[in-house]
A and B are shown apart, each in its own frame.
Chain A
Amino acid sequence: MKTRATLTRRRLLEAGLAAPLAAPGANQSKSTAESLYARLGVRTFINAYGTLTTLSGALLSPEVKRAMEEASLHFVPIHDLQKKVGQRLAELTGAEAAFVTAGASASLCLATCAVTAGADPGRHRTPNRSAGHGAKP
């Protein structure tokens, strides 16, 4: 908690850490990213292997980074966003419907819930897994 109390906005600005927030659209330079990992003591590497989750998956394309940066500048109701993004993804892919999840495991879990619960809104809640998994309701 002590660390958190000393991490003020002023300190962030002084350290230049808030610079990317102050200048949206400016691409974070390679050296900034490198110094971020150097500060954390995490070594970067050349990936001659491929898209492995444990190797960071994939780097983001400039178009994707731009979209994420734009999205992060405004509040929106997340359910509206999910609905519209899902509709657009379904149009683009020709799928019946689409839904963005946090990853493949989450997709499998949600798809299983969806086919199990069907159109019954009363059953549209995933089971309470708080017991034994350390998750808080």
Chain B
Amino acid sequence: MVLSHNTLGHKVEMEEMISIAHAAGLLAAVELYLKRDHAAQRREREAMLRRVADRLRGAPTLFTEFIPNLDPSHAPRLSVQWDEARLGLPLQQMITRLREGEPAIVAADMTRFRPPWKGLGIFANQLRRGEEILVADRVKQILTGKA
């Protein structure tokens, strides 16, 4: 069945088409963004990544690098690096094991970034409170061969 879009005398083009919930939700999101304490949010995300780095300490050949990523629209990042040859654990294998493990975790391959960086990227902007602990423990399990 083809419903006419002309009922109200205006054609709604494909590009214009959104749901009323979408419009209301976007407005609420912008209002929320403008009210938000962005400095506090950045501090919270940095603290999450510090907790990840602290928890990973002691894993073999491990090196973590904190990247502030101060662009206002971006979030801080943690690059987790290890001696891939010595541990026999290439970055891609780590990413796959995280994704396929329990709980499933999606983290970044920082060598694919521009400019390219090193290691496994753990970014805090979509992590919910407490999840950083699960991520750190899982990465450490894989690094120490206990996974």
Closest to A66 in B: B28
Contact in complex: A48, B20 (CB < 8 Å): no
Q: Does A136 contact B (CB under 8 A)?
A: yes
Q: Does B59 contact A (CB under 8 A)?
A: no
The docked-state distance in angstroms from the alpha carbon of A126 to that of B14 is: 9
Chain A nearest CB from B110 CB (Å) reads 11
When distances are taken between beta carbons in the complex, the residues of chain A under 8 Å from B121 are 48-49
Closest to B78 in A: A48
When distances are taken between beta carbons in the complex, the residues of chain B under 8 Å from A93 are 30
Q: Does A5 contact B (CB under 8 A)?
A: no
Interface centre among A48, A66, A69, A113 (most CB of B within 10 A): A48
Contact in complex: B106, A55 (CB < 8 Å): yes
The docked-state distance in angstroms from the alpha carbon of A51 to that of B75 is: 10
Contact in complex: A45, B104 (CB < 8 Å): yes
Q: Considering only CB atoms and an 8 Å cut-off, how many residues of chain B contact the other chain?
A: 45
Number of A-B residue pairs, CB cutoff 8 Å, is: 134
Q: Does A78 contact B (CB under 8 A)?
A: yes
When distances are taken between beta carbons in the complex, the residues of chain A under 8 Å from B15 are 101-102, 106, 109-110, 113, 126
Contact in complex: A81, B23 (CB < 8 Å): yes
The docked-state distance in angstroms from the alpha carbon of A136 to that of B12 is: 13
Interface centre among A61, A88, A93, A136 (most CB of B within 10 A): A61
Contact in complex: B13, A125 (CB < 8 Å): yes
When distances are taken between beta carbons in the complex, the residues of chain B under 8 Å from A31 are none
* Given A76-B20, A110-B15, 17 more pairs with CB closer than 8 A: A46-B103, A46-B106, A48-B106, A50-B126, A51-B125, A64-B29, A67-B25, A77-B8, A78-B12, A85-B23, A85-B26, A89-B27, A100-B22, A100-B23, A100-B26, A102-B17, A102-B18
Which residues of A are at the interface with B, using a C-beta cutoff of 8 A?
43-51, 55, 58-61, 63-72, 76-79, 81-82, 85, 88-89, 92-93, 100-102, 106, 109-110, 113, 125-126, 129, 135-137
